[in-house]
Chains A and B, each alone.
Chain A
Amino acid sequence: MENMVNVYFFGKKYTVPADLTIMTAMEYAGYTLKRGCGCRHGFCGACATMYRIKGKNELKTCLACQTQVQEGMYVASIPFFPTDKRTYEIDEIRPEQRIMMELYPEIYSCIGCNACTKACTQNLNVMQYIAYAQRGEFEKCAEESFDCIACGCCTVRCPAEISHPMVGLLARRLTGKYIAPKSEHLAKRVEEIHEGAYDELIEQIMQKPITEMEELYNHREIEK
């Protein structure tokens, strides 16, 4: 007999194999998932979930696809949460502190409770990256928030009603576009291609017979 545990999906009890994740346990229980299931490997944030272990006070947040079931787990998935994304034109804005004030003024209402950090399913220091955003330190905010998958658990728990993933995303786009150093070699290659520098060479290689291509491929020099 497999090792089984009792879990409660939306309050209803199911007995499931102990080595399953919350997501596969729901399927074992018979759910056909439509919402709350995306990449199934911890990258998309679709399966934000809250749970409490029976008899314990602590309320936990997790990704259903990356979390193993436990005995007495009371599970509620968060299939959608009205995170508040503001729209902007990336070409029009600049990495200046006032852009955060304009787009996400509520970040200045942060009360420092750290509930966001505690709720983060990626173990990021969410409150810290919000602090960087407040100060207009976009690069630091971008780095600190980089691994965010926008599951929204932070936002669910925030008493100041901040949409943290959206703040981090804005900081990252500003950093990627405006703050990170330009890649000269990339700009140069793009220009060369536009000027037609490779047109003839590419046509030549496209015309070569397969035997010649095999020869070229099998004896090409590989950079160390």
Chain B
Amino acid sequence: MFTPEMMESVKKVEATRPSRIGMEPRRMTAEEKDTLLKAFHPDYREEAFAEIKIGPNKGQKAPKELTHLLHSNSRLLTDKVDLDKVDYDVDVLVIGGGGAGSSAAIEAHEAGAKVMIVTKLRIGDANTMMAEGGIQAADKANDSPVQHYLDAFGGGHFAARPELLKKLVMEAPDAIQWLNDLGVMFDKDAEGNMMTTHGGGTSRKRMHACKDYSGAEIMRTLRDEVINRQIPVVEFTSAVELIKDDKGQVAGAVLLNMETGDYMVARAKTVIIATGGAGRMHYQGFPTSNHYGATADGLVLGYRAGAPLLYQDTIQYHPTGVAYPSQIFGALVTEKVRSIGAMLVNADGEAFMHPLETRDVAAASIIRECTERGKGVKTPIGTGVWLDTPMIEEMSGAGTIEKRIPAMLRMYMNYGIDMRKLPILVYPTLHYQNGGLEIGGDGFTKVIPNLLVAGEAVGGIHGRNRLMGNSLLDVIVFGRDAGKAAAARVKEITLGKMNLDHVQAYAQELEKAGLHSEDVSPLLLPKYARHEGTVDSFDK
């Protein structure tokens, strides 16, 4: 429950609530947003970034923690692996068992390829599973893929790669249809119309949802389909290095059994990196809404093999992470809570912004409220602003919260907070890696002809900020396309002699640059055990 001081502030929220219902706060102008972002968005804190000293993005910035991983050593400099002993031999190797990896595997299988998934946890232990609010697609009469393009391009600060964004919006309705036909239960009315809402920065109501278990519903359906198709899934096994051949192609990956420590060799004619995001790197000390394995592994693997990154210096902080209580600190409070009517309100009960600005703007605005303006609500573990959830039922009737956002209700009820009666306290949480490995419109990296990337590990689909509901969409669209493209490319690929020369060459580059890290990368799992001591997880 809330402290007496917090309850004092709740009274102010309750006092202003009647006057806020039916009122829509003004949206910020483009200039106001720019000024706000530069002053308060974490991406603009220069001291949190470090220069990458070697490789294709040499001279560019990345979050310090990511740069450190890029400057760390391969496990295979000391641990030796016999590449002649091939444990798995496939057409398509998918690294990662989330939404993108599973979609890719299903499509590659559909195309007749011999495909295998490796994943360091279980299939479905992924950010896809935790996506709550929904998935965008322009499928209503007043909407169009062009309008979707405009919203996403502007919301991403005009930095998205046009050829990627085009695919995202043009293939969105088909992605929804595909999921529907796999048996995903979208929220529909009695006539079959999708119940769609706004997300931050959308100009049309195109957010499709499955209550607030949207990602979970999609992920469990994809997982079920992967299993039905009997696609091999090697769980608790991570890829620790790509293998290349003497023609400069990728030829598979070195795998590590997470439990036994054994190395294995997977040979593959095409490899899809679908390893997801990086929330567990806790950039700038933020808590995260991400799953346990979100440690940017694919970026490290790909970079070491020579694939460039794009927009690796831009991170999404979801404006509404849990600020209180401590047990769920940093967990995601879906944007859908705002889509269905809750306002962001400061300690004095003032609606200080339009609730559906884009995520970067909303996050910066909340940080400003809690710092410069001094209107945050103090808690025993930090500060935050109110998300006025009781408004939802005052506007849309009793039962709305249980029906539309049951996961949120359940999460707070575990700690005795009934969001139907009391507002909840939120603060930005590390949510999404806007950048990643660079790909072309065909899904392949531009430097390695049989290496593909899909999902959150890709950079450039969204630009420098992502709209709600475009990530669930991108894992499906780009996952499917990667699976199809990989399966097609298999026919053109003849593998040469496998080697790990690029790992040695990278180590020499590090040496030349005078970088001597004690650490190995990819990280694989965050160091949360108390004796490991680098990251304090106890309230994350």
A contacts, CB < 8 Å to B: 17, 19-21, 24, 27-35, 37-44, 46, 66-68, 85, 87-90, 122-123, 142, 146-147, 149-150, 169, 172-177, 180-187, 189-190, 193-194, 198, 201-202, 205-206, 210, 213-214, 216-218, 220-223
A10 → B minimal CB distance (Å): 16
The answer, among A21, A24, A46, for a CB contact under 8 Å with B122, is A46
Residues of A within 8 A of B129 (CB): 38-39, 43-44
When chains A and B are docked, how far (Å) is the Cα of A34 from the Cα of B411? 24
The answer, among A21, A146, A149, A214, for a CB contact under 8 Å with B30, is A214
Q: With A44-B130, A185-B193 in contact, is A176–B180 under 8 Å at CB?
A: yes
Asked whether, in the complex, the Cβ of B30 is within 8 Å of the Cβ of A218, the reply is: yes
Asked whether, in the complex, the Cβ of A186 is within 8 Å of the Cβ of B146, the reply is: no
Residues of A within 8 A of B327 (CB): 19-21, 66, 68
The answer, among B138, B217, B220, B228, for a CB contact under 8 Å with A189, is B138
B13-39 contact mask (Cβ, 8 Å, vs A): 1 or 0: 000000000000000011000000000
The answer, among A42, A206, A220, for a CB contact under 8 Å with B166, is A206
Asked whether, in the complex, the Cβ of A177 is within 8 Å of the Cβ of B326, the reply is: no
What are 11 contact pairs spanning A and B, CB under 8 A? A44-B122, A44-B124, A85-B224, A173-B183, A176-B182, A181-B188, A190-B173, A190-B174, A205-B150, A214-B158, A223-B142
B167-208 contact mask (Cβ, 8 Å, vs A): 1 or 0: 001110110110011111110101111100010000111000
Q: With A39-B129, A193-B170 in contact, is A30–B188 under 8 Å at CB?
A: no
Asked whether, in the complex, the Cβ of B213 is within 8 Å of the Cβ of A43, the reply is: yes
Q: With A28-B530, A202-B166 in contact, is A176–B221 under 8 Å at CB?
A: yes
Is B300 close to A, CB under 8 A? no
Residue picked from B186, B198, B203, B292, most chain A C-beta under 10 Å: B292
Is B65 close to A, CB under 8 A? no
The answer, among A87, A149, A216, for a CB contact under 8 Å with B227, is A87
Q: With A31-B529, A175-B185 in contact, is A149–B216 under 8 Å at CB?
A: yes
Asked whether, in the complex, the Cβ of A193 is within 8 Å of the Cβ of B414, the reply is: no
Is B492 close to A, CB under 8 A? no
Is B60 close to A, CB under 8 A? no
When chains A and B are docked, how far (Å) is the Cα of A21 from the Cα of B163? 45
Asked whether, in the complex, the Cβ of B146 is within 8 Å of the Cβ of A201, the reply is: yes
Which residues of chain B from 133 to 180 have any CB-CB distance to chain A below 8 Å in the complex?
Answer: 137-142, 144-147, 149-151, 153-154, 158, 162-163, 166, 169-171, 173-174, 176-177, 180
Asked whether, in the complex, the Cβ of A27 is within 8 Å of the Cβ of B529, the reply is: yes
B146 → A minimal CB distance (Å): 5
Asked whether, in the complex, the Cβ of B220 is within 8 Å of the Cβ of A169, the reply is: yes
Is B532 close to A, CB under 8 A? yes
A216 → B minimal CB distance (Å): 6
Closest to A210 in B: B158
Count of chain B residues near A, Cβ 8 A? 90
When chains A and B are docked, how far (Å) is the Cα of A13 from the Cα of B327? 21
When chains A and B are docked, how far (Å) is the Cα of A142 from the Cα of B221? 13
When chains A and B are docked, how far (Å) is the Cα of A131 from the Cα of B241? 49
The answer, among B158, B173, B538, for a CB contact under 8 Å with A17, is B538
Is B442 close to A, CB under 8 A? no
Asked whether, in the complex, the Cβ of A37 is within 8 Å of the Cβ of B213, the reply is: no
Is B6 close to A, CB under 8 A? no
Q: With A27-B537, A39-B129 in contact, is A173–B30 under 8 Å at CB?
A: no
When chains A and B are docked, how far (Å) is the Cα of A213 from the Cα of B155? 11
Asked whether, in the complex, the Cβ of A222 is within 8 Å of the Cβ of B538, the reply is: no
The answer, among B130, B169, B525, for a CB contact under 8 Å with A202, is B169
Given contacts A183-B180, A206-B166, A217-B150, 20 further A-B contacts (CB under 8 A): A21-B327, A38-B291, A39-B129, A42-B331, A43-B216, A87-B227, A90-B182, A177-B182, A181-B191, A183-B186, A185-B139, A186-B177, A186-B194, A187-B177, A205-B149, A213-B150, A214-B154, A216-B150, A218-B29, A220-B150
Residues of B within 8 A of A213 (CB): 150, 153-154, 158
A224 → B minimal CB distance (Å): 9
The answer, among A42, A46, A90, for a CB contact under 8 Å with B125, is A46
The answer, among B124, B182, B203, B411, for a CB contact under 8 Å with A221, is B203
Asked whether, in the complex, the Cβ of B204 is within 8 Å of the Cβ of A146, the reply is: no
Identify the 4 closest CB pairs spanning chains A and B, nearest first: A173-B183, A217-B154, A181-B192, A38-B125
